[in-house]
Structure 1
Amino acid sequence: MTEKSFSIDGNVQHFTIADVAQENSDFRKVLWTGEHAQIVVMTVPVGGEIGDEVHPETDQILTFVSGTGHADLNGETHPIEAGDQCAVPAGAQHNFRNTGDEPLILYTIYSPPEHAAGGAFATKEEADTAEAAGEDNPPQA
């Protein structure tokens, strides 16, 4: 793995984020969680999707590293590809779908954190099950 990472006082970290995202095979993997933000990498398989959702209190910024798909944002659909970025404000309904012929790879920033620190789920089904069971809740400030 070409991941570059270092830690000072256990919380400051450096990532070569596009490389880390490309090397990730998990549907969702939390890389770092701070008090006010969180870095997550995702790999959405061909034909897959993140899932239609709304984060009432959390802003989300997604940056696409490879693949193609569609962003469904508050009832409008937009094509997405490597190099695109989508900003999703708290309260906005959204979904990201892989409509291409290779995995849709991205990294995303949540503010405040949306998922459990260190969480990693190989598939959307595993991630959904953990969320439903209350096992993927963000840390409490």
Structure 2
Amino acid sequence: MPHFSIDFVAEQSADFRQVLWTGVHAQLVIMTIPPGGEIGAETHEHTDQILTFVSGAGEADVAGETKPVGAGDLVAVAAGALHNVRNTGVNPLVLYTVYAPPQHAEGAVHATKAEADVAEESGQDEPPAR
């Protein structure tokens, strides 16, 4: 049984993105966005996403609306919605996200956004075929 102390795992991860668990219909991913960094505007046409913020301060843009986010906040992103998350604070913005269905390669770890972008563009970050 996969079991995580999510706050502890999130706070210990310095990687931009780390896939913790991938199931048939959903995926759990930890993200750490450095000060001044962002996820980058993106749309997942067939994937819903729930982002839960563990620490730090930032802004979430979803479908043209912007809200401040911090520890304890949750943002739901419907499939097809243009979205982005920016770190506006002085400390890393740490969050975990659930994708349904999975969005990334099982077990993927990307230390930086640049590394994650290369993996996505090259096709190395494709979710498993189910």
CA apart distance, 1:128: 0.2
The match for 1:63 among 52, 70, 80 is 52
Larger radius of gyration: 1
Alignment of 1:1-141 (within 5 A): 12-141=1-130
Cα RMSD (Å): 0.5
Deviations 1:34-74 (A, max 9, x none): 01000000000000001100000000000000000000111
Higher-RCO chain (CA-CA 8 Å, sequence separation at least 6): 2
Give the gaps of 5 or more residues in structure 2: none
> For 1:53, what is the secondary structure of its paired residue?
coil
- Aligned partners of 2:51 and 2:28: how far apart in 1? 10
Deviations 1:60-114 (A, max 9, x none): 0000000000001111111001100001010011000000010000000000000
Give the gaps of 5 or more residues in structure 1: 1-11
- Aligned partners of 1:71 and 1:98: how far apart in 2? 9
- State how many pairs are aligned: 130
When normalised by structure 1's length, the TM-score is 0.91
- Aligned partners of 1:62 and 1:133: how far apart in 2? 25
> For 1:54, what is the secondary structure of its paired residue?
coil
> For 2:68, what is the secondary structure of its paired residue?
strand
